[in-house]
Amino acid sequence: MNILIVEDEDLAVKKLKKTLFSIDETANVVGEADSIKSTVSWLENNPSPDLILMDIELADGQSFEIFNHVQVKSPVIFITSYDEYALKAFKVNSVDYLLKPVQKEDLQSALEKYKQMKKVYAAEKETSSLSIDALVKELQQKLQTKDYRKRFLVKHGQKLVSVEVDEIAYFFSDGLLRGKKESGFFQMFLMI
């Protein structure tokens, strides 16, 4: 799991990384940013991380400003000393809202929540792509050319003659009435 840490206090970054690695040794911190400006720059110049651990109060303002400058595609776990921003945090990509000092159990719970959400969205995406695949397959079957006759049996005198479709120019019918046993004639014109 690739993680971006947005935190302006070096000691807080070290503690957060230590706690993170004690929970998940496979976690990969792909970047660190300490301000709105550096975070925007990092997000514009790097692939989106799987998850962002983000402090709200940064040296150059509140991290909510980041969302006004760049499209944040990653889910975010907000980490802050203030509880008054929780509602605002959940209006953006928030998975969880943790208060400092971050407890190992709280971070572990937030990471589990993120992983569960990821599984659900992945399953939905897979189901929807399967549905789309099924729909495409059904449309292809309906649009496939139908098998038409390749030959007709035609009465010629007392015999039945097999005639290939590409030898027929058109069919013509005259004098046939529905429901009545009137004689009429039917002709098939052959291409020569």
The CATH number assigned to the domain holding 13 equals 3.40.50.2300
- At 131 the three-state DSSP class reads helix
Domain count, the chain: 2
Chain centroid to CA 12: 36
Q: Tally Cβ neighbours within 10 Å of residue 41.
A: 14
Q: Do 105 and 185 fall within a single domain?
A: no
User: Given this model, what pLDDT does residue 128 score?
Assistant: 53
Band (pLDDT 50/70/90 cuts) for residue 183 is very low
DSSP 32: E
Contact 64, 84 (CB under 8 A): no
Q: Do 128 and 180 fall within a single domain?
A: no
Q: Do 119 and 35 fall within a single domain?
A: yes
User: Given this model, what pLDDT does residue 125 score?
Assistant: 57
User: Given this model, what pLDDT does residue 162 score?
Assistant: 85
User: Given this model, what pLDDT does residue 143 score?
Assistant: 63
Which range marks the domain in which residue 104 is found? 2-138
User: Given this model, what pLDDT does residue 192 score?
Assistant: 45
182: number of CA atoms within 13 Å, CB side?
8
The owner of tokens 């695949």 is 133
- At 102 the three-state DSSP class reads coil
User: Given this model, what pLDDT does residue 126 score?
Assistant: 56
**Domain for residue 185, yes or no?**
yes
**Does the pLDDT value for residue 147 go beyond 80?**
no
Band (pLDDT 50/70/90 cuts) for residue 154 is confident
User: Given this model, what pLDDT does residue 3 score?
Assistant: 96
* Among 78, 110, 3, CA closest to 48: 3
Instruction: Tell me the pLDDT tens digit for each residue of 78-136.
Output: 998 888 887 788 778 788 999 998 999 999 999 999 988 888 776 655 555 556 667 67
Q: Tally Cβ neighbours within 10 Å of residue 29.
A: 17
Q: Do 46 and 104 fall within a single domain?
A: yes
**Does the pLDDT value for residue 144 go beyond 80?**
no
* Among 33, 26, 25, CA closest to 4: 33
Q: One-letter amino acid identity for 58?
A: L
Q: Do 22 and 66 fall within a single domain?
A: yes
